[in-house]
Each structure stands twice: as structure tokens, then as C-alpha cells.
Structure 1
Amino acid sequence: MSGKTDTVETLIQNTASSLAEARGHREQLKSGLFLYLHQAYELGLDPDEVVDVLGVKQPNILDLAGLDEHDVHFLLEQYETLDPVIAPVYGH
């Protein structure tokens, strides 16, 4: 389990960094979220874990990225659109 935990922590840090660099650029934000969703499901996270890591539990990706409320709102809207399409690809 430690290996998975380390990998999830790396995913959190890499995604937060990518989203932080994309501040204010919607297509880049959307691309970062798209990549995160695929990588999270590839790691075996279930849908609840995916959303927890993104923005519920502490630390979470959205907090670590330091995004403003407009970018966070945009990403949450995109999550609602993308997750129902991506999750079934991984059996969820």
C-alpha cells in the first residue's frame, strides 16, 4: 500500500503544480484535469477517492494549486462533465 500511497502523493503534487502553472488558462486547466482523472483511475482509485483527492480531503489538489475561485469553479464544472465519461473507461 505504501507504493500506491507514494504514487498518489506524486500524482497530487504533479497535478497541483500543473494546475498552478495553468492559472487563468481554461484549456490548460481542463487538460490538467483530464490527465489527472486518467492517471487517478489508472492507479486504481475509485470515484470517491478521485474527487476526495481533487478537492475534498486535506491536502487536496485544488488547495495546493492555489487557484482563485473562478478557476476552481471552472474545474469543478469540468469535473462534472469529464468524470462521467472517463470513469466508465476504467470500469467505474
Structure 2
Amino acid sequence: MSINSPAPAYNASTNTSEADRAAFISWLTANTVAELQAARDNEAALHQAVKNYVQHALAAELPFEDIEEILGINEPCIMDLAELSEADEEAVVDAFEDLCNA
């Protein structure tokens, strides 16, 4: 799957298909991991990758709890899969918190 491949059409509010949900989350995870890996050691790029993640998740109307869990709570979470440094993980968390509190 290439970075920035188009998002599969999915809306959590109107689509109850578990297969469609899983496909969207798989795409979202793979795309975000690729963006985060490409953004290593670049705080601005990390922030943009998190912003892209949140925008895609919100556009699909995923519940906030899911958005948060997929990024950094669930095992394996996006941050684990991206194998980021501790400093980069902190930048990702800060960016997520900034976006959520905006």
C-alpha cells in the first residue's frame, strides 16, 4: 500500500459492515504508519501526519475513543507499528492533544 493512497469510502455512522470498517482501519493504520515513518525526526512533518490521521478518522465519523485507541492505545497501535523514537512519540502525542484541544 503506497503512502497517501486514497481512503476507502467508509462512514461509521451509516455503514455497519465490519469488513468495511476493518478495511478502512487497516488503510488508515498503514497510511499513518507510512507517514510517521517518513516524518521521523521532523516535528512539523509528524504533526502533519497526525493531523492527516485525525482528518481521515473524523471524515469517516469514527468515534473519538476509536480514534484515540487506534493511534496510541490498542495493541498494536500506530505508534508501535511506526517504531518511532521516544522523542517522536512525544511529538505525536503532543500533536494529537493540540488537535483535540483546538
Q: Give the TM-score category using the shorter length.
A: 0.7 to 0.9
Task: Measure the CA separation in 2 of the matches of 1:61 and 1:83.
Answer: 17
Unaligned regions of 5+ residues in structure 1, if any? 86-92
1:78 CA displacement: 1.3
Say if 1:4 and 1:43, in contact at 8 Å, map to a contact too: no
Equivalent residue number for residue 29 of structure 1:
46
Provide the TM-score with structure 2 as the length reference: 0.79
Q: In the TM superposition, what whole-angstrom CA distance separates every residue of 1:3-50 from its partner, at most 9, and x where no partner exists?
A: 121011110011001101110011110000000001011112111100
Equivalent residue number for residue 89 of structure 1:
none
Provide the TM-score with structure 1 as the length reference: 0.87
1:82 lines up with 2:83 in the alignment: no
Unaligned regions of 5+ residues in structure 2, if any? 1-16
Give the CA RMSD over aligned residues. 0.9
Identity, % of aligned pairs?
26
1:51 lines up with 2:68 in the alignment: yes
**Runs of 4+ residues deviating >2 angstroms:** none
Higher relative contact order (CA 8 A, sep 6+): 1
Q: What is the number of residues matched between the two proteins?
A: 85
Structure 2 residue matching 1:24: 3-state secondary structure? coil
